[in-house]
Copies of this chain bind each other. A is one copy, B any other.
Amino acid sequence: MKDIKTLFLEFKNTKEITLIARVRSNRQGKVVSFLVLTDGTTVKDVQVVYKSDVKGYKDAVQARVSSIVEVKGIVVLTPDKQQDFEIQAQEIILLDQSIEEYPLQKKEHSPEFLREISHLRARTKTFQSIFKIRSVTAFAIHKFFQEKNYVYINTPIITENDAEGAGEAFIVTTRQDGKYEEDFFGKKANLTVSGQLNAEAYAQAFKNVYTFGPTFRAENSNTSKHAAEFWMIEPEMAFCDLKENMQIIEDLVKYSINYVFENAREELEFCNENLEEGLIDKLNNVRNSKFVINKYEEVIKILQKAVLDGHKFEESSIEFGLDLATEHERYICEVVNKCPTFVTDYPKEIKAFYMKQNDDNRTVAATDLLVPGIGELVGGSQREDDYDKITDRCKKMGINIEELSWYNDLRKFGYYKSSGFGLGFERLIMYITGASNIRDVISFPRTPRNLLF
């Protein structure tokens, strides 16, 4: 039996067809009636025309929105109509009738209402498009790395690492009393906030590795960009410096976008028409531009000049050491460069302990990729390869050295230039689909006081 995606590819050479699909609408006209059907294999619907002499007519006219029908009929080309073809039904079988109270009737629904029915919202064209693009992008990322012989690593989700004690890690337990020494693992366990440290160990074994898995933050922020559970891609490359790292980031972002253009074109067009005006132009611009590289220190000067020229930032006290906010990031890539921008060589005080200290003794070999409309999309760095420097940095930052000894020890056993980055998968999907809320690119989103399904 053909699915509707295949039918759209082959309709010109198809005469008789049998379809099983869900009813999007069922409208009775004076002479003919119309069933609009979807089977989820494409965002495009099929129109079925039926008359009162069709076999199964009595049931067909009763078929409610969301019911499942089987239709046997003839494909008729309709070049003068909105759609290229329609099906003239010979028989309609009502396989399963929906109840009348189906929540997704034809009218428009608010994103807030749709989030309350996450188990149903993927049936709307908007979410069909978003989650199809999410799936295709995930595969693009795997394909990009596998073609380059990277090894996919499933780093652990449950970890003893508490993310430098920042209090943003969920606890994993079987107890309600906090007696972790009697717990399943015999110690306190957390949900991972990053697979990077484990991936680094594996890069020393395989040269090039990547993770692609869920990460977690128990951060109590109710914004359109934060979720408690989200997926990260964290590649790590041995014998690779910051410059090569940036090239891989740029290649990956472009490859992903190209792959979506080639493999989810209809869905992308739906997003372009319904989620973000100019989306396809924006992505085309990214595909065709060479990303700009700015040193952090340059960026500070640009921002200082912008303030002098009268530009208003919420944080306008701009000097070396400032942790750039989204407003600054967006100004740089949207107003100044008008394209994705790598900012490099951040002050070491605002970056993680594992980043390689530059010779100037005040910056690190780190980079953030800033993209228009989002701000930071990727964060990466070359890793500190000197054992004394990394342990010293841990001590200065109050990090428990014993817990991380296995990680710092990697520097003792032959370690030469390792670099990597973290790409927030949902941010990338928001960027590619134009969805403005992270809750709308996650099948069943988890946010503070929100745990449904």
B41 and A149 form a contact (CB under 8 A):
yes
Name the interface residues of A94-134: CB closer than 8 Å to any CB of B. 95-99, 102, 118-120, 122-123, 127-128, 131-132, 134
Q: Kindly list chain B residues whose C-beta atoms are within 8 Å of the C-beta of A136.
A: 146
Shortest CB-to-CB span from A407 to chain B, Å, is 7
Q: Kindly list chain B residues whose C-beta atoms are within 8 Å of the C-beta of A270.
A: none
B216 and A158 form a contact (CB under 8 A):
yes
A379 within 8 A of B: no
B185 and A451 form a contact (CB under 8 A):
yes
Q: A173-B171, A184-B448, A450-B185 are in contact. Are A20 and B239 (CB under 8 A)?
A: yes
Mask of A334-374 contacts with B, CB within 8 angstroms, 1/0: 00000000000000000000000000000000000000000
B201 and A122 form a contact (CB under 8 A):
yes
Q: Kindly list chain B residues whose C-beta atoms are within 8 Å of the C-beta of A142.
A: 138-139, 142
Alpha-carbon separation in the docked complex, A180 to B379 (Å): 34
Q: A153-B131, A160-B453 are in contact. Are A412 and B98 (CB under 8 A)?
A: yes
Q: Kindly list chain B residues whose C-beta atoms are within 8 Å of the C-beta of A120.
A: 201, 205, 413
Segment touching B, from A44-52, A186-194, A311-319, A393-401: A186-194
A156 within 8 A of B: yes
B205 and A123 form a contact (CB under 8 A):
yes
A75 within 8 A of B: no
Name the interface residues of A395-441: CB closer than 8 Å to any CB of B. 406-407, 409-410, 412-416
Pick from B132, B161, B191, B453: contact of A151, CB under 8 Å: B132
The chain A residues found within 8 Å of chain B, CB to CB, are 3, 5, 20, 22-23, 39-41, 64, 66-68, 95-99, 102, 118-120, 122-123, 127-128, 131-132, 134-136, 138-139, 142-143, 146, 149-161, 170-178, 184-187, 189, 191, 198, 201-202, 204-208, 213-214, 216, 218, 220, 228-229, 231, 238-239, 385, 406-407, 409-410, 412-416, 442-444, 446, 448-453
